[in-house]
């Protein structure tokens, strides 16, 4: 059930073990935070802080590396300013754009035959993302992932030339030439997926050359299985 409350509420952290939790770090022992409507989420073993409005309920929860939070630090941050929320949780929120034929798309369960086109202009989308306050962007070249080499290099160059976003680029990164092409087109980082599964020694050699601040290890996962080559082949390996 939805909680009809807007305003400052005190949250109670559930035990000393959560005082240094990434989600709550720096908020103090009995912090006041801003709620913009909430839900009566039951208090469970995953609850790390509670609030009380008529009845007590979970204000935020954690299970392993997954977090859920019902509040903001400040009212004025709730629509456009992501910096407070990301600072609160000690993580970066990174929007992503998937590209096919120069268009922004989304695949259904990695199926290229089930794609939804969201926008014909990835540069326009990237500019809007930057206006919302984001500093980073993840771009996936789905054409490149299927073809085995970079395809949408010009889209990458257009975005990095038009915005100040730090872009990490993936899809079709199969050779050192692909890596160099992505960096030349303005990528700040490159995401490597398939090669890390099919040729881990090659991936480690790239990691040694380019270092961890420029290479990201990526994985496409469905039902716990790691897929390669643009979701087209099950590698037979489990993500965990």
- Predicted model pTM: 0.66
How would residue 82 be classed by pLDDT, with cut points 50, 70 and 90? very low
Which residue from 48, 59, 45 is spatially nearest to 13, judged by alpha carbons?
Answer: 48
Kindly name the residue from 98, 141, 168, 178 that is annotated as catalytic.
98
Q: What pLDDT was estimated at residue 2?
A: 64
Say how far residue 162 (Cα) sits from the centre of its chain: 22
Cα–Cα distances (Å) from 9 to 12, 43, 57, 183, in that order, read 10, 17, 12, 47
Can you give the pLDDT at residue 10? Answer: 87
- Considering 141, 143, 178, 220, which one is annotated as catalytic? 220
pLDDT in tens, 159-169: 999 999 999 99
Is residue 98 among the annotated active site residues? yes
Share of the chain above pLDDT 90, in %: 55
Q: Is 220 a catalytic residue?
A: yes
CA angle 2, 14, 48 (to 5 degrees): 55
To which H or E segment does residue 225 belong?
Answer: strand 225-228
Q: Would the pLDDT of 19 be above 70?
A: no
| pLDDT above 80 (res 182) | yes
Q: What is the pLDDT of residue 232?
A: 85
- Residue 3 pLDDT > 80: no
Give the pLDDT score at 4: 61
Rounded CA gap, 137 and 166, in Å? 6
Which burial class, exposed, middle or buried, applies to 108 when counting CB atoms under 10 A from its CB (0-12, 13-18, 19+)?
exposed
Q: Of 60-69, 92-101, 111-120, give the lowest mean pLDDT range.
A: 60-69
% of the chain beyond a pLDDT of 70: 87
Q: What is the pLDDT of residues 105-158, one digit of tens each?
A: 998 878 888 999 999 999 999 999 999 999 999 999 999 999 999 999 999 999
């Amino acid at each position: 059930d939805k909680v009809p409350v807007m305003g400052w509420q005190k949250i109670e952290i559930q035990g000393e073990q959560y005082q240094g939790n990434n989600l709550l770090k720096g908020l103090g022992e009995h912090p006041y935070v801003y709620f913009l409507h909430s839900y009566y989420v039951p208090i469970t073993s995953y609850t790390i802080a509670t609030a009380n409005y008529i009845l007590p309920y979970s204000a935020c929860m954690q299970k392993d590396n997954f977090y859920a939070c019902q509040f903001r630090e400040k009212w004025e941050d709730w629509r456009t300013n992501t910096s407070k929320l990301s600072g609160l949780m000690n993580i970066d929120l990174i929007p992503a754009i998937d590209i096919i034929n120069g268009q922004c798309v989304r695949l259904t369960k990695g199926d290229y035959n089930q794609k939804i086109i969201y926008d014909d202009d990835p540069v326009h989308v990237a500019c809007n993302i930057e206006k919302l306050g984001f500093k980073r962007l993840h771009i996936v070249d789905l054409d490149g992932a299927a073809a085995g080499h970079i395809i949408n290099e010009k889209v990458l160059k257009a975005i990095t030339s038009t915005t100040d976003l730090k872009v990490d680029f993936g899809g079709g990164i199969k050779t050192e030439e692909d890596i160099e092409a992505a960096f030349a087109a303005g990528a700040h980082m490159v995401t490597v997926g398939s090669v890390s599964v099919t040729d881990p020694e090659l991936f480690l050699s790239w990691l040694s050359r380019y270092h961890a601040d420029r290479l990201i290890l990526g994985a496409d996962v469905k039902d716990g299985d790691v897929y390669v080559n643009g979701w087209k082949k099950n590698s037979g390996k489990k993500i965990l």
